[in-house]
């Protein structure tokens, strides 16, 4: 199985179950990136564990996958405002 065949299958599945991708290029990479970002923004998550599961060093995981999550950002802004 190639990455292209997996991406094609993912696009076909989205179409079959009527997922509107809003013209975004959904791929296995974007799914992996989304999952890794969610792992990076999960309270109590062990970053070394997540990095290891993805086959990356901790530095690579933090630099590549850990980003500000919109939901988490709003939660933190509310926390500051309530202080």
Domain boundaries, the chain: 3-82
How far is 43 from 5, CA to CA, in rounded Å?
Answer: 35
Q: Provide CB contacts within 8 A for 65, sequence distance 6+.
A: 33, 36, 37, 39, 40, 54, 56
Q: Which tens digits make up the pLDDT trace of 1-20? A: 888 898 889 888 888 998 88
- The count of residues in the chain is 83
Q: What is the mean pLDDT of the chain?
A: 86
Q: Tell me which of 83 and 69 has the higher pLDDT.
A: 83
**Residue 42: which pLDDT band, with cuts at 50, 70 and 90?**
confident
Q: Which tens digits make up the pLDDT trace of 52-61? A: 999 999 999 9
């Amino acid at each position: 199985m190639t990455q292209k065949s997996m991406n094609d299958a993912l696009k076909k599945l989205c179409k079959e179950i009527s997922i509107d991708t809003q013209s975004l290029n959904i791929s296995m990479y974007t799914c992996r990136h989304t999952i890794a970002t969610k792992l990076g923004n999960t309270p109590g998550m062990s970053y070394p564990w997540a990095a290891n599961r993805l086959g990356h060093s901790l530095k690579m995981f933090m630099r590549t996958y850990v980003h500000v999550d919109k939901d988490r950002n709003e939660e933190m802004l509310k926390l500051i405002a309530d202080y």
